[in-house]
Amino acid sequence: MNKINILLNGVGRIGKAILRISNEKNYFNIIAINELNTNINNIAYTINYDSTYGNISNKYKVEDDFICNDINKIQILNEKSLKNINYKKLKIDIIIDASGAKIDQNILNNLDVKKIFLTHPNKNANINMILGVNDHLYKNQKIISTSSCNATALLPVLNIIEQNIGIEYGDIATIHPLLNHQKTLDSSCVGSTNRDIDCSFEFGRSSVQNIIPSKTTTIDACSLVLKEINHNLISSNSFRVPTPTVGAINVSLVVKKEITKEKLIEIFKTYENQQNYKIILNNYEPLVSSDFARSEYTSIIDHRFTSVIKNKMVKLVLWYDNEWGYASKVVELVNKL
């Protein structure tokens, strides 16, 4: 059976992780990259060398408008719009859009490909999907959102609790590594149309000197996958911290049925033992954030901090690699569908 051919749109932090994981898994062929950066030598350089995950041994070299190594040969495109690409000529089956940009829905619908995977929450997608939560609802939809890194970490855990004991209400706080749109030194406010940020004063402050409080779209992203998990049920906020990768989520829930700590942990252990993909991992070791870097598990429950108060209030701490863990689930979902 021939492998599917992929166009990767955008090779930033998530796009690069998808490419590296794809090369390791060998599920499909990434035969083209569309990237606004017009310096092909720099594209190869940023793929070969990475300050967070280290350098790859099988390095890409530039040959005309391709980057090549022993694994694959990838054509580099610099189109500002996906509609300008001749997919039939390139023999592209599927697009993975890791650009983070908002693309007009009509453009996506008319692209001559079988499927388009968007690596961000999108209310206009045919379905927002998280592996292990609602991938069983796949019915050959064309435009599939793979949600966000935070929702991919949180929702499998919330779904297990909702299915087993029910959630009355709760609160979550994400502790999230810094991102490229933030500043290294204090500067003017930061706006981002992709993130619906007009002018954030806080994100204009130094990301390497501060813990920065902010709003989070995590619960919004969750509600696009499971509509019952929404802001009427769970409140949320976020703190940006000066680390390169691996986030944490502090979860506090009041549940419908009485539960003990031991029974709750047993529920998660049962799920871990029966799951088909690396989603839930139960941790009991005295670890810190960097120990979870490059983990493919996206919902790592740190049971050192699991507690149940008066059999009704559940407290959890989750770890997740917001780049590598999330990208691994994008690759697994594309391969499955």
Q: Give the residue numbers annotated as catalytic, written as ranges.
A: 149
Indicate the SS3 state at residue 253. Answer: strand
* CA atoms lying within 13 Å on the CB side of residue 107: 11
- Identify residue 300 by its one-letter amino acid code: I
- CB count within 10 Å of CB 29 equals 18
Q: How far apart are CA 198 and CA 221, in angstroms?
A: 19
Who's near 96: CB < 8 A, 6+ residues apart? 6, 7, 8, 9, 15, 18, 117, 119, 330, 334
Q: How far apart are CA 47 and CA 156, in angstroms?
A: 31
DSSP string, 274-327: H-SSS-EEEE-S---GGGGTT-S-SEEEETTS-EEETTTEEEEEEEE-TTHHHH
Note the residue count of the chain.
337
Tokens of 284: 């009991």
First vs last C-alpha separation in the chain: 15
Q: How far apart are CA 269 and CA 301, in angstroms?
A: 10
CA–centroid distance for 220 within its chain: 14
For residues 323 and 51, the answer to whether their CB atoms sit within 8 Å is no
Of 230, 234, 235, nearest in space to 220 by CA: 230
Indicate the SS3 state at residue 62. Answer: strand
Indicate the SS3 state at residue 249. Answer: strand
For residues 31 and 89, the answer to whether their CB atoms sit within 8 Å is no
Q: Which residues make beta-bridge pairs with 9?
A: 34, 97
